[in-house]
Amino acid sequence: MRTRRFSSHICKLSADSAAWTSGNLAFVSVTDSPDWQPPHLHPPSTTPPEFSFFPGARQQTRLAPAWSRIIALGWLLEMFAFICVGASSQIIGRPVIWLDDQRWGSVMLTILVAATCFPLMATALWSLFHGPQVFLVSAVPTSILMVLAVLDRDSSPGSAVVTFVLAISGLLLMVGAFAGRYRLSNLSSATTTSN
């Protein structure tokens, strides 16, 4: 019968296991080995990173994920309601200033519709994709709604009232966007200020 002797080799079986050394059974800890690496406590993430506007912006200027979805949904609903106000005022014969086909030509009318609806949609996308300073970006469509409510008060007073209500809800979305930002804990804010 032939036996093999392992002169200076250690056969690692598992972390903290038995191994043969010079023909004798000995207990060897794998953690004593110079090439041992600790296992990953958290496996690397396999999900792709999320898209966001200005990825270098500070975390405190962004909305928390749930808040960003809520604010984006709010601005999309604002845009839908705003378009419904314009369409209904056109149907009843008292068109709002941005949708008055008697006053404006087709090119100017297209520009006005795009200029009034685009800020609402852009703010919703800015919020949805975690853009920084959403509460400041929300000031643009809110102020546009306020101006349009004032401009429509004589030609279409009912639409002006609804547009003013939409502007007030835009102010509430601004407050929600301010409240929904990430907050730093005391420990992380002390670390941030010390750096």
DSSP string, 154-172: TT-HHHHHHHHHHHHHHHH
Q: Contact 55/63 with Cβ under 8 angstroms?
A: no
* Spatial separation of the C-alpha atoms in residues 28 and 19, rounded to whole Å: 6
pLDDT at 122: 93
Domain boundaries, the chain: 7-32, 62-179
For 91-127, the DSSP string reads HHT---GGG-TTTS-HHHHHHHHHHHHHHHHHHHHHH
pLDDT at 66: 84
Output the CA torsion 173→177→178→180 (10° steps): 130
pTM of the model: 0.65
pLDDT at 20: 47
pLDDT at 84: 95
Sequence-ordered list of residues with C-beta below 8 angstroms from that of 18, at least 6 positions apart, any chain: 25, 26, 27, 28
pLDDT at 15: 44
- Residues of the chain short of pLDDT 50, as ranges, are 1, 3, 5-20, 190-191, 194-195
Q: What are phi and psi of 27, to 5 degrees?
A: -90, 125
pLDDT at 8: 43
